[in-house]
Structure 1
């Protein structure tokens, strides 16, 4: 038994008509009345087939319209889901826009982000128009085509918004990296300069400090600074560069403090040496003065002794030559006033002066 393909409605009607005619046709062809009946039956069958065909086509078309309308509803649901995603992405993009407003390497990226934010905001207001009752298949298909294009545009808009947001963030990050690199390089250069100066200070203060421990501390600070200056820094990380800049600055400060301590020790030694020299000079001067005083005292004592001895000898010689005089009382000289000139000068009646007689 062979499989037969399904027959169309038109084929079925044709076959049915043929069979009816075959059944209704008698062996004799002279019966006109019977032929008329058969003809009427055939016409009725054909009319019924035409009506059935029209009804079938209408139902089939409506099924197609309903399917298209369902597709439009599905596209509308997808559109609303994408709009919900866009709304969340817009919140992120607006935060990025505020962050990079004055901190972005490429200002074009900021302008692109602003443009996409504006377009995406408008996309939130788009509504997919559904297929209305009574729409033809062509109208429904046109509505579906427009809905699919709208969905594609909204999906593209969200993709562009995300890309603009990422580009702006990347440009912002690049600026931060550039700034961090500049700051780290500047801090390292400053540290290297202080290292060189500190090394000279260390070399020039050997034996010139009050406490050599200060120079040992400076040496340790120089070693630490050299180790930090020579260490590798991750140039792709803002955090690593920022930390390096802070470490360079802190180490420089510590090194400058060690240099200042050595310099203070140098000044302390100079002050101590000057004080010691002053004290030594004073002690030397005091010793010299004491020696001179002792020498002068010794000379005076010897001279007095010699003088006393000579007088004694002279007296002895004198007494042996000249006899001693008798003890006679001394007479007081008599003062004679000058003659008056007719006025009293108030000086004991002696005038301007007394004359010793």
Structure 2
């Protein structure tokens, strides 16, 4: 296919410090203060940090202990996921007034394909501005956006003018934009791959672009062709409004490490009960049960079992998890247990998107 046939108008909308911003909106006493949404500082993990907290280096996925060490004035707030989902639904309703091609990535971000949109607006840039304005006026929160010809470039662009800003990368600007990026910003390039690239003298998109497909496949296997395309801003992934759920899970981090399987059984039963609630709410079931174990030394282990039938019942989930628990002896005391269900009875849904070329 010719490149112009693949050009679309994609907006990536990303809410600014979403969980923390909701807490500050609902409680004016928290406005302007460094807050962390998450568990207690002793054992918890930061789910989100306000921009005031980020100035001290506090980030999501950081331990509460480390967050408090970086920012002694940090205020911890317990997460309220029902509230976040309520706000997220209001934001998505705004999205759907512009296009039905909305692909949520989480409660706080989504892709929108506005190549053909309900407003008949030929400018994706103006649509993004209007959406952000409406979110602020109707919800009370700020959002940032990236606009470009595909999901990959749009997502990177949305980080450029955060918070409360946006960036458009026009079709004729894509290659130059990609050339200036650090390779660690590329999708699929994690810490280990980035280090390998650095060792090979590949630091930027321009460096990556200079390598042949053969060279990249030699050093990065099947990912080589993907890196070759991404360095040129080429991505064929469409906005998928009906993303198929891959798994459903629940987990718990304990205040005190557990060293006995008997005590773990009780916790697993509670986790199985929560998982059953989530499965019933989504009206789905699964065949593969996975037990997640995080030890006191932070090493992670998973054990899985696939059943010949679909399950969603707490007792069946618990029995499978208990069997996995005793599958082998524990290496250390345990700080976290989780159960997830995979191989779900959901069906793939495909949508047809007409791809045309327009001015941005």
TM-score range with shorter-chain normalisation? under 0.3
- TM-score after normalising by structure 2: 0.15
- Higher RCO (CA 8 Å, separation ≥ 6 residues): 2
- TM-score after normalising by structure 1: 0.15
- In terms of fraction of residues, the more strand-rich structure is 2
